[in-house]
Structure 1
Amino acid sequence: MSTYTRKDTTDSGMEAACRAEKSRKKTPTLELSSATQLPESTNCLACSEDGRYLSLGHVGGLSVWCVSSLMCVAEWLQDNLEMTSVQMTSMAETAYLLGSVDDMGVARVFAYHSEAIHLLSVINIMEDINRRSVCLTFELSEGGDYGAASISCNGAVWLKVYHFPSEAWLKELEMAASQKQDPNLSGDVKWSPAAVATKIGPPKTPADSSLEVLRTTDILTHCLVLDGHTSSRQQEEEQSFNTDAGKTKETNDSPRLCTQHFLLSCGQFPGDNKANSAGAPVAVCVWWSGSHNLLQYLLHKTPRNKPDVEPLPDVLWPNANEIICSAVSRCTRFIALGLSDALVCVWDRHSGSPLSVVSVSATDSVFSRLQFVDYWPLSTDDSQTFAAGEIHLMVVNKNGAIHTISMGRGTESCTMQLTERPKDSGDLPTITASVPFLQGLSLVVQRNGKMFLQDIINKATVCFLIPPASHLLATPCHPVYALNAKQQTLFIRGDQDPSCNTSSKGDCQSQLFIFQFGKSDIIKQFTVSLPDSPRQQKAFNFDTLEEACNLYLQQRALSVDERNKAITQTWKKLQETTVMVQQTHGS
C-alpha cells in the first residue's frame, strides 16, 4: 500500500512538473537588460524617488551608484561593519538622505551630496555596555523630515521619532562641499543634531484597573487598559500552553514589537495643513503586537514641560480583533489592517470611520502582509479626490494563498482569490509586490527562485524574468531587490550557480541584474504614468471645523446613489434569505 502511494505521488509530481513546464513555455520571457558586478555581500538595495541613484549596503559600509552609468559615485567604508538595511530619499534636488542599520543593530543617518557621503548622525550610540540598545527597524519619511527607530534594550522596546534639521543640514553640506573644493578652507563641519519629536512605548496597564475604576475613566484610557489586559492574558495563555507542551520558551518575557507608518495631512484636524505646508508628515500611527488598537500621534505639537512623560495618542482606532499586519495608501488617507479571524478593516482618516470591513474566505492561515494596489485615476479633476472612489488591496496569507479586495464607500466589497495555497513549498511567494508603474501587475518571487509578473485582475502570468543560465537568484527566501519607479526598472541580486564552472574569481562575484520593463513590448499595455509624489499633491485645507463638516456632507451627497443601490441590494438579499428559511422550515 505504501509503495503504491509513493509511486502515485511521484507520478503526480512529474505530471504537475510537466504541466508547469508547458505553461511556462507558453508564457513569454522578459529578457535581462544588463548586469554588473556587486560589492561583496550586498545585503540591501534602495532607489531614490527621482530614479537617479541606487544605494547599496554591504560588507564594510555602503555606496551610492549612478543608475544611468551603473558606476559607483561615492562610498562610506568602515572596518568590521556590515550593513543589513538601507533606505534613500531625496532631501533636496541635489542632496539625498540615507538611513541604514548594521549587523550590530546600530542605525545611522547619512547624506549624499556633491559625490560624497557624509555621516550626519548615529541614532543609538552605545554609551553603557550594560544598557546596549539595538535598533530593530529604522524608517525615513519621504523627503527626510523625520525618522522612526524601533529600539530594544534589556527586554524593553520603544519607538523614537526623530525630527531632522533638513535646512541646517543642507547649509552644512554646501559648506562641506566648499571646503572640499578650496584647500585653503580647513576645519571639520559640525553637523546639527537630530531632535527627538516623540518617544512612544507600549500601552501600560495601570496598577488599579478594577471594573469600578474603568467605569470612571475616559474612553481612551478604557480602551488602552482593556488592550493591556488582553495582551497580558494572551501571553499568560501562551505561556501555559508552552508549559503543558513541555516547551521552555518564556513568552511573558518577550517584548511587544511595534509597527509604524508616517501619515501626511488629509484634513483630519482643522488647520493641520498650515502647520506643515511643506508636505512633511503630520502624524505617525503605531500598533503593538497583540493589540486591537491603532494609535495615532501628532508630530507638530509644541514641546511639553515634562519630556519624560509618554504622550497619549491623539486618535485611537479600535478594532474587534487582534491586528496582524497593516498598510497605508500612497496618499496615507486610508489605513488597512489585517486582523485575526481573516478580517480586513480599512479606516478612512478623512471621515474618521471605517471605509469597509471585509471577511476573507475561510482559511487555515493567518495574514502575512497587506498592500494597496496602485490604480491611477483617469480624471485629473480635483473633485474626484473627494469622491468615494474604489480602492484595491492585495492580501497575502502565510500559507501562500493570495486574495484581492476591492471596496469603496457606499459600494459592495468584492473579494477574489488570486492564487491558492501552493502544494509545493518551493512555490511559496517570498515577494508579492504591487508594481506602481504597471497597472494591475504584481512582482512575484518564489522560494524556488522563480520570478514573474502576474496580472492580478485576470489571474494570469504575464511574463517570466529569467536570469542568465550561469546564475541563480540570490537568497530567494529574502531577495535583495529594488524597484525604480521613474526608470521603470527592477534591480535584483543574483549569485553564481555552484554547478557552473567559473573561469576566474571575478565571475564568482554577485551580479546586479537589471530588468527594464519600459522597453518591453510584452508589458507595454500595462504601463502607466506616475502622478506626482503624495508630498507634492494638493492638500486638504480646512481652517475651521465647519469647513471639514461641509466637505463631509458634500461627500455624502456625491455617494447617495451608490449608497442607495447598496441598500437595495442588501434588502434584496435579506428577502431572498427569508424566503429560503421559510421554505426550509415549511418542508
Structure 2
Amino acid sequence: MYTRKGTPDSEMEAACKTETPTLEPSSATQLPEGTNCLACSEDGRYLSLGHCQGLSVWCASSLICAAEWLQDRVEITSIQMTRMAETAYLLGTVDDMGVARVFAYHCEDIHLLHVINIMENINERSICLTFEVSEGGDYGAASISCNGALWLEVYHFPLEAWLKELEMALAQKQHSNSSGDVDMKWSPVAMVIEIKPLQISAGAAADGPLEVVQTMDFLTHCLALDVDTSCSRRAFNTDVGETKETNESPRRCTHHFLLPCGPNPGERKAKSQPAGLPVAVCVWWSGSHNLLQYLLQKAPKNKPGRLFICPEMNQLYDHKHLFKNMLPVVKSSCLLFEADVEAMPDVLWPNAKKILCSAVSRCTHYIAVGLHDGLVCVWDRKSASPLSVVPVSVTDSPFSKMQFVDDWPVSADDSQTFTSAEVHLLVRCKGGAIHAVTTGRGTRSCTVQLTERPKHSGDLLTVTASVPFLQSLSLVVQRNGKMFLQDVVNKTTVCLLIPPTSHLVAAPCNPVYALNTKLRALLIKAGDQDPSCSSSSQGGSQSQLLIFHFGESDIIKQYIVTPPVSPQQQETWSCVTLEESCDLYLQQRALSVDERNKAIAQTWRQLQETAETQQSCSQLESSRK
C-alpha cells in the first residue's frame, strides 16, 4: 500500500485550477478478502477474481457473485478468463506456490479441469512462472522452472470433450439434486510442444572444414551468435571474480500466440481450420537477438527425429538443415540413427541488437520488438520481412514495454493515402518516458515523445494501457496513485480519475484492474481507507472495487468508438498456395495504383526542388570564388 503525499481533495482542487475535467466512480462494491487479481471475459458478461482462498466469478453488470471455488491455503495470484462456448468459460490461474490450474465456469458452477504442474517429487518441484490461455481457450502456454532450468510448455485443450462432460456434469447434478461438485473424470490435456533454450555450440559457426562451414544453415549460425554473446558476458564476469549464477538473472521466456497469416511455412492447412485458431507461437529468450516461431502441430508418436553423426568432425546434424546439402564424401562418412531431438523453430527473425520487449498486433500480422540502443523493429508476417526499423532517441533508459494502438485517428491528409500497412505503437522506457511510433510500408516513420522522464519517483508510470473502446486514449496510473486518461495524439490529459475520499488505489506500483470493453468501464481495486480521512469507520478496512463508467461522462463520449472485432471472430486471411498469395498481392497493388502514382509524383517534385536548390547553392559558391 503506497500512501501518496497529496489527498484526493487537494488533487481535486489542483485539477480545477488547471481546468482538467475529473471523473469519479459511479459505483463500488466490497471485494473478497485478499483479492490479488481480476479479469473480464471478452463479451463483458463476467468478472473473475482470484483471492487468498480460491477464486470466484461475478456477473459484471450486477456485481453479484455467481459461483466460487474455495480451498484452504490456495492463494490465486494470476487469473485469465476467455469464452470457449456460448455458456462456458475457461479460466487459467497461477497460485502463490507456482501451481497453474485450468477451470471451467458453466451454468453457475466452477469445475477444476486440469492441474498443469502437479508436484510429484519435492526435490524436483516445478514452478509455473507464467500461464496464458489463448483467446477462445484452444491452447495454453506455461513457462516452467525447475532446478535452475526454464522451458515453455504449450498445451492443446480438448474443448469439445470438455463441453460434453460439462453438460453431463450438469445433468448428473440436476438428477441428484446435489449442491456440491460432481465427481467427473475430465478428458486429459495434450502437450503440443516443449520449447527449451536451444543448446547450440558457440563455435558451431566457425569450426570444421571450410566446405562444411559454407553449408552451415543460417538458423544454426544465428543461434550460435546468441550463445556466443552469453559466453562472452560470462567470461567477463569470471575475470572479475563473479559468476553468472550470482550476477545474472535466469533467462526468461516471452511468447505470443499467432493466428494464420499468409503463406508462411506450416500454415497451408489453416484454411481448413476454424477461424481464429492459433497456428504458431512466437518465442524469444532474455538476452537473445532472435525471434523464433514454432508451429502448433503435435509430432506423430513413435517418430523421433533423424540425426546424422559425422565421426570426422564429432558433430550432430539435423537432416532437414544440413544433410541434404552435404558433400558426397561427407555423407558417406555419416552414420544414421534415430533419436529424440529438441523442438527446432520453423521460422527465425534475426535482429541486430538484443531484444528488450515485444508486442503483437491484434490481428497478429505484425510483431514489434524493442531492441537495445533505442531501435524499434516491426516484422510483417505476410511478407516474412521487416516492415520498418525505426530509431527512437532514447537517452534516459532502455525500453521496458511496448503495445500496438488499434484505434488511431486518421487525419484528412492521410485519408487520401494508401496506408493499409501503417501501424502505431506506444513504447515505454524504464525511466518513465513514453514514445509514440508511427510507421509502415511506403510511409515516413514518425516518433513523438509523449511524456518525459518524471523528476520525482512518485510520478513514475506503473500502467500505460491502450483503451480499446476510446480512440487514441491511454489509461495511465502513476506510482503515487494518480490516474488519468491521456490523448496520445495531442499529448493532453483528457480526464483525471478521482477515487472517493475514503479510499486510495491499492498497491499503485502494481494495481489490480481490468477494462470491460462491452460496458466501457474501468474496474480497479481500492485499498484500505485513508487514515487521514475523518470519515473513516471502525470496521471499514475491506478493499473495494471501484467502477468508472466512461460512457456516462460528456467529456469522454466524443472519444468512444466501436470496439474492434476480435481476430478469433473474424475471417482470418490465409493462402494455401503461393499463387493465391501472389494474386492477392497483385490485387492490392492494383487498388493502390493511383495513390502510389501520386506519391511517386510528389517524390519526384521534391527531388527536383532539392536538386535546383543545391544547384543554386553551387552556382552561388562558384561566383563568390
- C-alpha change, 1:529 and 1:446, in structure 2 (3 Å) is same
Deviation digits for residues 174-221 of structure 1 (CA, Å, limit 9, x no counterpart)? 111111111189972100111101000112123762614454311111
Alignment partners' CA distance in 1, 2:110 and 2:370: 39
Alignment partners' CA distance in 1, 2:69 and 2:473: 36
Alignment partners' CA distance in 2, 1:584 and 1:370: 48
Structure 1 position 33 matched with structure 2 position 31: no
Q: Secondary structure at the match of 2:236?
A: helix
- C-alpha change, 1:481 and 1:566, in structure 2 (3 Å) is farther
The equivalences for 1:166-185 within 5 A come to 166-183=159-176
- C-alpha change, 1:129 and 1:584, in structure 2 (3 Å) is farther
| Structure 1 residue 478, shift from structure 2 partner | 0.2
The answer to whether the 8 Å contact 1:155/1:253 transfers is: no
Question: Of the candidates 378, 381, 387, which is equivalent to residue 349 of structure 1?
Answer: 381
Q: What is the match of residue 284 of structure 2?
A: 287
- C-alpha change, 1:43 and 1:336, in structure 2 (3 Å) is same
- C-alpha change, 1:24 and 1:160, in structure 2 (3 Å) is farther
Q: Which amino acid aligns with 1:27?
A: T
Q: What is the match of residue 549 of structure 2?
A: 516
Alignment partners' CA distance in 2, 1:573 and 1:220: 46
| Structure 1 residue 461, shift from structure 2 partner | 0.4
Structure 1 position 224 matched with structure 2 position 223: yes
Deviates more, 1:86-95 or 1:249-258: 249-258
The answer to whether the 8 Å contact 2:379/2:385 transfers is: yes
Deviation digits for residues 507-541 of structure 1 (CA, Å, limit 9, x no counterpart)? 11000000011121110110001132111112213
| Structure 1 residue 291, shift from structure 2 partner | 0.4
- C-alpha change, 1:518 and 1:238, in structure 2 (3 Å) is farther
Deviates more, 1:32-41 or 1:570-579: 570-579
Question: Of the candidates 349, 354, 362, which is equivalent to residue 322 of structure 1?
Answer: 354
Q: What is the match of residue 95 of structure 1?
A: 88
- C-alpha change, 1:136 and 1:276, in structure 2 (3 Å) is same
Structure 1 position 498 matched with structure 2 position 531: yes
| Structure 1 residue 565, shift from structure 2 partner | 6.5
Q: What is the match of residue 261 of structure 1?
A: 256
Question: Of the candidates 104, 128, 133, which is equivalent to residue 111 of structure 1?
Answer: 104
Deviates more, 1:437-446 or 1:417-426: 417-426
Deviation digits for residues 130-175 of structure 1 (CA, Å, limit 9, x no counterpart)? 1111001000000000000000000000000000000000001111
- C-alpha change, 1:229 and 1:47, in structure 2 (3 Å) is same
Deviates more, 1:89-98 or 1:542-551: 542-551
| Structure 1 residue 248, shift from structure 2 partner | 7.5
User: Structure 2-normalised TM-score?
Assistant: 0.84
Residue identity over aligned pairs, in percent, reads 65
Structure 1 position 141 matched with structure 2 position 134: yes
Deviation digits for residues 79-105 of structure 1 (CA, Å, limit 9, x no counterpart)? 112111000000101000000000000
Q: Which amino acid aligns with 1:314?
A: D
Q: Secondary structure at the match of 2:53?
A: strand
Question: Of the candidates 438, 449, 455, which is equivalent to residue 481 of structure 2?
Answer: 449
The equivalences for 1:326-341 within 5 A come to 326-341=358-373
Q: What is the match of residue 202 of structure 1?
A: 197
Alignment partners' CA distance in 2, 1:393 and 1:86: 26
The answer to whether the 8 Å contact 1:412/1:566 transfers is: no
- C-alpha change, 1:569 and 1:166, in structure 2 (3 Å) is farther
Alignment partners' CA distance in 1, 2:184 and 2:353: 51
Q: What is the match of residue 234 of structure 1?
A: 233
Q: Secondary structure at the match of 1:303?
A: coil
Structure 1 position 397 matched with structure 2 position 394: no
Q: Secondary structure at the match of 2:402?
A: strand
Alignment partners' CA distance in 2, 1:498 and 1:577: 69
- C-alpha change, 1:502 and 1:524, in structure 2 (3 Å) is closer
- C-alpha change, 1:572 and 1:517, in structure 2 (3 Å) is farther
- C-alpha change, 1:19 and 1:29, in structure 2 (3 Å) is closer
Question: Of the candidates 45, 55, 60, which is equivalent to residue 53 of structure 2?
Answer: 60
Q: What is the match of residue 306 of structure 1?
A: 304
The answer to whether the 8 Å contact 1:146/1:164 transfers is: yes
The answer to whether the 8 Å contact 1:268/1:349 transfers is: no
Question: Of the candidates 520, 526, 529, which is equivalent to residue 559 of structure 2?
Answer: 526
Alignment partners' CA distance in 2, 1:91 and 1:341: 42
Alignment partners' CA distance in 2, 1:292 and 1:580: 47
Larger Rg: 2
Q: Which amino acid aligns with 2:452?
A: E
Q: What is the match of residue 271 of structure 1?
A: 268
| Structure 1 residue 267, shift from structure 2 partner | 1.6
Question: Of the candidates 510, 513, 520, which is equivalent to residue 478 of structure 1?
Answer: 510
Alignment partners' CA distance in 2, 1:441 and 1:187: 46
Q: What is the match of residue 419 of structure 1?
A: 451
- C-alpha change, 1:175 and 1:392, in structure 2 (3 Å) is same
Alignment partners' CA distance in 2, 1:418 and 1:573: 33
The answer to whether the 8 Å contact 1:272/1:282 transfers is: no
Alignment partners' CA distance in 2, 1:576 and 1:506: 80
Q: Which amino acid aligns with 1:98?
A: L
Alignment partners' CA distance in 1, 2:185 and 2:621: 81
User: Structure 1-normalised TM-score?
Assistant: 0.89
| Structure 1 residue 240, shift from structure 2 partner | 4.9
The answer to whether the 8 Å contact 2:169/2:182 transfers is: no
- C-alpha change, 1:152 and 1:146, in structure 2 (3 Å) is same
Structure 1 position 154 matched with structure 2 position 154: no
Alignment partners' CA distance in 2, 1:18 and 1:36: 24
Deviation digits for residues 482-527 of structure 1 (CA, Å, limit 9, x no counterpart)? 0001111100000121323566554110000000111211101100
The equivalences for 1:361-380 within 5 A come to 361-375=393-407
Gaps of at least 5 residues in structure 2 are 1-5, 306-339, 411-415
The equivalences for 1:557-572 within 5 A come to 557=590, 558=592, 560-561=596-597, 564=600, 568=604
Q: Secondary structure at the match of 1:221?
A: helix
Alignment partners' CA distance in 2, 1:67 and 1:253: 43
The equivalences for 1:180-191 within 5 A come to 180-183=173-176, 188-191=183-186
Q: Secondary structure at the match of 2:71?
A: strand
| Structure 1 residue 573, shift from structure 2 partner | 10
Q: What is the match of residue 8 of structure 1?
A: none
Alignment partners' CA distance in 2, 1:127 and 1:577: 77
Alignment partners' CA distance in 1, 2:231 and 2:432: 30
Alignment partners' CA distance in 2, 1:196 and 1:283: 14
Q: Which amino acid aligns with 2:270?
A: N
The answer to whether the 8 Å contact 1:235/1:252 transfers is: no
Q: What is the match of residue 460 of structure 1?
A: 492
- C-alpha change, 1:121 and 1:271, in structure 2 (3 Å) is same
Deviates more, 1:434-443 or 1:548-557: 548-557
| Structure 1 residue 21, shift from structure 2 partner | 2.7
Alignment partners' CA distance in 1, 2:608 and 2:362: 36
Q: What is the match of residue 328 of structure 2?
A: none
The answer to whether the 8 Å contact 1:293/1:319 transfers is: yes
The answer to whether the 8 Å contact 1:391/1:406 transfers is: yes
Q: Secondary structure at the match of 1:547?
A: helix
Gaps of at least 5 residues in structure 1 are 1-12, 379-383
| Structure 1 residue 310, shift from structure 2 partner | 1.6
Q: Which amino acid aligns with 1:163?
A: H
Structure 1 position 72 matched with structure 2 position 72: no
Alignment partners' CA distance in 2, 1:280 and 1:32: 38
The answer to whether the 8 Å contact 2:51/2:75 transfers is: yes
| Structure 1 residue 348, shift from structure 2 partner | 0.6
Q: Secondary structure at the match of 1:172?
A: helix
Alignment partners' CA distance in 1, 2:152 and 2:602: 42
